[in-house]
Amino acid sequence: MKVMLSKIVNKIPGLRSLKYRIFFIILAVGIVPTMFLRYAILQNYEQRAISVRISDVQAQFKILADHLITYNYLSDTSSEVVNAELAMLAELYDGRVIIIDRNCKIIKDTYAISEGKTIISEEVILGMRGQTFANYDADNRYIEVITPIVDPKASEEPEEEPEEGERPPENLAQGVMLISVSTDNIATNVDILQSQATTLQVLAMVILIVIAWALARVLVKPFERVTTAIRETKEGYNTEAISVMDYVETEHIITAFNELLGRMRVLDESRQEFVSNVSHELKTPITSMKVLADSLIAQEDVPVELYQEFMVDIADEIERENKIINDLLALVKLDKTSADMNIENINLNELIELILKRLRPIAKQRSIDVLYESAREVYAEVDEVKLTLALSNFVENAIKYNNEYGYVKVSLDADHQYATIVVEDNGIGIPEEEQEHVFERFYRVDKSHSREIGGTGLGLAIARNAILMHRGAIRIDSEEGAGTQITVRIPLIFVSK
Ligand code: ADP
């Protein structure tokens, strides 16, 4: 129901605007009740006027009925007093009075049309039985009142007690008065009231439209200010954080926008820093090569040994350049979304063993022990290539930043939700203040040492991205001079966002 309503509302072009919605809501809230009120008041007025008229007529004609008895009008219609009273009442109520005797014969008609005729209708019969009642004919605009003409004495002292079970006397009344009263003046009053109400309503509507429009504009203004402020920021006129604090809602939008802006600035700064770092890192080997080549060119009769020595250096620099480019490409690949993940259910024990097998020869060169400890067999939904890349980097670092005869210990465990891999070494460790930075791109604790051992500063950044793509987490615990422990936790079931 709600969905359907919002679908319909959204289809009407104007109603998609908050301004128009506020306008129409205020208008509806103002107008609909006044319309109901107007209808109710007029209806009530008409009903009340009719019922007052009916009781008025009934009271007047009750008195007349008494006079009819007093003057014995039913037997003799010549009484001037009664006739004058009749004429006056007929005139007063703009109506017609018909007096019917006990035999249902019309003895008097103020219109003088039906005198002498006999009238038998349901109303007359009921009237004869002493009932008073009234009908309102709204279409023809008149009230019909039936008033019985009852002799008070006759009704007070019945001639004989009706016997048990016997029906009461048929006719209580001596006769019946049929009165038709025009309600034209009530209708006229209603018409006048109606036209006044219409005028008032039109006036109220005009005022309401003006107020609703003004209010809608004022209420929507802060949102327009938000749009302007955001647009100015987008177009570069404004570089500061913006502020439109009129409503809690606009404040929320602005806060969210400023946060986004801040994030974008940080991203932009880090991008710039990255680009400058990349160019610097790529330039270093090239500069070295240029220096080596230049010195060879500058010398005459260079001995072959020197040529060879310099060429070996140049080849090293080329290899380094190649490594940086490869790492950069790996990093760029890992910046993509999880849609690029090639997820398979992999035995992590086998995966780790393979990594260690590949890296053991390097460790052996420096007599570093590589140990592996697995608590259980662990299967996890992972991207084999990416996870291998990450774990290789951790183990490689543990070997690279280790002392001769040191050790590297890798352990694997899992609970029902996560696999936990710990890479531990007793190497040189990382000073505490540096620990939070080591995952940044190109960050190296000891630049020259890292360079010496062939580091690019990208290894941990790559590893971190790869773990985050698995919705995993990394923890680093390290003590300078004592060793480092990297704990990786990844979910056993891969959840793509
Ligand atoms: P690099 O290519 O220089 O190894 P990484 O991103 O892999 O770059 O690591 C960043 C820096 O963190 C390294 O230069 C090193 O100083 C430090 N580091 C990483 N792992 C270890 C470790 N196991 N022990 C000591 N220092 C480490």
Strand partners for 24: none
Strand partners for 474: 488
Counting from 1 in the atom list of ligand 1, the atom nearest the Cα of 444 is 14
Give the distance (Å) from ligand 1 centre to CA of residue 438. 7
Counting from 1 in the atom list of ligand 1, the atom nearest the Cα of 451 is 3
Residues 6+ apart with CB under 8 A from 321: 282, 285, 286
- Of 267 and 408, the structure prediction assigns the larger pLDDT to 408
Whether residue 381 is predicted with pLDDT greater than 70 in this model: the reply is yes
Query: Which conformational region is residue 142 in: left (phi greater than 0), alpha (psi within -120 to 50 degrees), or beta?
Result: beta
Q: What is the CATH number of the domain that holds 386?
A: 3.30.565.10
Torsion (CA) 360, 361, 365, 371 in degrees, nearest 10: 10
Residues 6+ apart with CB under 8 A from 257: 226, 230, 233, 242
Say whether both 87 and 209 belong to one domain: yes
Whether residue 338 is predicted with pLDDT greater than 50 in this model: the reply is yes
What amino acid is encoded at 130 in this protein? Answer: G
Query: Closest Cα to atom 25, ligand 1: which residue?
Result: 429
Say whether both 61 and 189 belong to one domain: yes
In the prediction, which pLDDT does 166 show? 46
pLDDT in tens, 420-435: 999 999 999 999 999 9
Say whether both 191 and 250 belong to one domain: no
pLDDT in tens, 209-241: 999 999 999 999 989 988 988 888 888 766 677
Counting from 1 in the atom list of ligand 1, the atom nearest the Cα of 456 is 2
Whether residue 458 is predicted with pLDDT greater than 70 in this model: the reply is yes
Asked if residue 463 lies in contact with residue 393, where contact means CB atoms within 8 angstroms, the answer is yes
Integer CA distances (angstroms), 394 to 261, 400, 451, in order:
34, 10, 17
pLDDT above 70: percentage of residues in the chain: 94
pLDDT in tens, 179-209: 999 998 888 999 999 999 999 999 999 999 9
Say whether both 210 and 80 belong to one domain: yes
pLDDT in tens, 303-314: 999 999 999 999
- 165 CB-contact burial (10 Å; exposed 0-12 / middle 13-18 / buried 19+): exposed
**CB under 6 Å to ligand 1: residues?**
393, 397-398, 401, 425, 427-430, 438, 443-446, 450, 455-461, 484
In the prediction, which pLDDT does 234 show? 82
**Domain that includes residue 141, residue range:** 14-152+171-238
Give the number of domains in the chain: 3
CB atoms within 10 A of CB 245: 10
Strand order of the β-sheet with 175-182 is: 106-109, 95-101, 175-182, 142-149, 133-137
pLDDT in tens, 24-52: 999 999 889 989 999 999 999 999 999 99
Say whether both 331 and 382 belong to one domain: no
**In testing the pocket of ligand 1, which one of 320, 393, 450, 467 has its CB within 8 Å of the most ligand atoms?**
450
Domain boundary among 277, 304, 335: 335
Say whether both 232 and 244 belong to one domain: no
In the prediction, which pLDDT does 317 show? 92
Give the distance (Å) from ligand 1 centre to CA of residue 327. 14
- 13 CB-contact burial (10 Å; exposed 0-12 / middle 13-18 / buried 19+): exposed
- 164 CB-contact burial (10 Å; exposed 0-12 / middle 13-18 / buried 19+): exposed
Q: What is the CATH number of the domain that holds 200?
A: 3.30.450.20
Query: Closest Cα to atom 21, ligand 1: which residue?
Result: 397
Say whether both 377 and 309 belong to one domain: no
**In testing the pocket of ligand 1, which one of 281, 393, 434, 438 has its CB within 8 Å of the most ligand atoms?**
438
In the prediction, which pLDDT does 337 show? 64
Query: Closest Cα to atom 20, ligand 1: which residue?
Result: 397
In the prediction, which pLDDT does 446 show? 84
pLDDT in tens, 403-421: 999 999 999 999 999 999 9
Say whether both 324 and 224 belong to one domain: no
Whether residue 277 is predicted with pLDDT greater than 80 in this model: the reply is yes
In the prediction, which pLDDT does 2 show? 65
Whether residue 10 is predicted with pLDDT greater than 50 in this model: the reply is yes
pLDDT in tens, 108-152: 999 988 888 998 888 888 899 888 889 999 888 899 999 999 887
Give the CA radius of gyration of the chain.
53
In the prediction, which pLDDT does 155 show? 55
Query: Closest Cα to atom 12, ligand 1: which residue?
Result: 438
Say whether both 22 and 119 belong to one domain: yes
Say whether both 312 and 372 belong to one domain: no
Q: What is the CATH number of the domain that holds 330?
A: 1.10.287.130
